[in-house]
Amino acid sequence: MPERGRNMDYKEFREKILEELEDFYGKDALVKIHKIYKNNGVVKYGVVTRFTDGNSSSAVPVIYLEELYRCYSEGSITIEECIGKVIDKREESRNNQEYVMGMSVNIMEWEYARHNIYPVFLPKESNREMLKNLITTDMLDLVIVYIIRGKAEDGSFTSIKINRFLLGQYGISRESLHKQALSNIKKDGYRFYGIAGALESFIENGSFSASCTREESITPQGLMYIMTNSAAFYGTAGILDSGWLHGRTGGNSCYIIPSSVHELLFIPDNGQANQDELDRMVQKINSLEVAEDERLSWHCYYYDAATGEIRTRK
């Protein structure tokens, strides 16, 4: 019976996976383990298996190993079972024409990509290494990057960040890319939800569902509002649509709380909120509640309805 338990560290685990996959596929495939930089300097490792039969697309899926290693180290799965799961996932994708992180292989073609490009906000300082090869636009202490959004077979949303290579493939300028991404915001189902309605949706559905929550506009009497897109996935870019933002805030100035890279919280400025206290709240929530690769900022922002300006301080 295969031995269970923690008998390999993560480096040894990765090397074992690579060795066994190379033995399994032989000359039929080229197997590599890539070090991949995620948001905020988080590093993950993923297996990339490229078949050499000439029939596969040049685009291949990345199968991440962190969760498998966690299960292995806890003793709930053997190394043999881990290898089998990696092989099964790769075989599933090999038989699927749309297997690139849940996306069509047509991501290399501008006519496909243009309809699925969206801007997202990320922290600038903690992502400097990852940002070096991406197409970016600065805003305050944040940076806008551009993603092609897709949907995996399980219904979850996935994304590929646009780098210099992809921009070159499209044959367009950075300005054209930015303009297209802003245009797509308008069809992305951005809404505001009162905190009470969001809690009701969470209780009824077991998770926050943007599609099941009643849309609201901000009023001075409101306590707190969530802003995100219909997918609740990288849903912070709605603030780039100044006309929409002014209409939904009802002309009310607000403090903006960066809940995560997926949503923002708006608190109407009715004279009762203190920005320093809000900053401390953001820092506490980031430390205790938000996954490291989903943190957006360690302080709040201010939306001035009179000028339409968003800034770091009131």
pTM of the model: 0.76
Work out the number of other CB atoms within 10 angstroms of the CB of residue 201: 19
Structure confidence at residue 55 (pLDDT): 53
Structure confidence at residue 97 (pLDDT): 46
Structure confidence at residue 105 (pLDDT): 56
Nearest residue to 110 (alpha-carbon basis) of 171, 183, 186: 171
Q: Where are the alpha helices (DSSP H) in the chain?
A: 10-25, 66-74, 79-94, 110-113, 128-131, 164-170, 174-185, 195-205, 242-248, 275-288
Helix (H) or strand (E) holding 118: strand 117-123
Q: Decide if 131 contacts 143 (C-beta within 8 A).
A: yes
Structure confidence at residue 84 (pLDDT): 93
Structure confidence at residue 89 (pLDDT): 84
Structure confidence at residue 99 (pLDDT): 46
**Residues of the chain under the 50 pLDDT cut:** 1-5, 57, 97-102, 203
Structure confidence at residue 295 (pLDDT): 95
Convert the pLDDT of each residue in 55-96 to its tens digit: 554 557 788 999 999 999 989 999 999 999 999 888 876 655
Structure confidence at residue 62 (pLDDT): 85
Structure confidence at residue 217 (pLDDT): 79
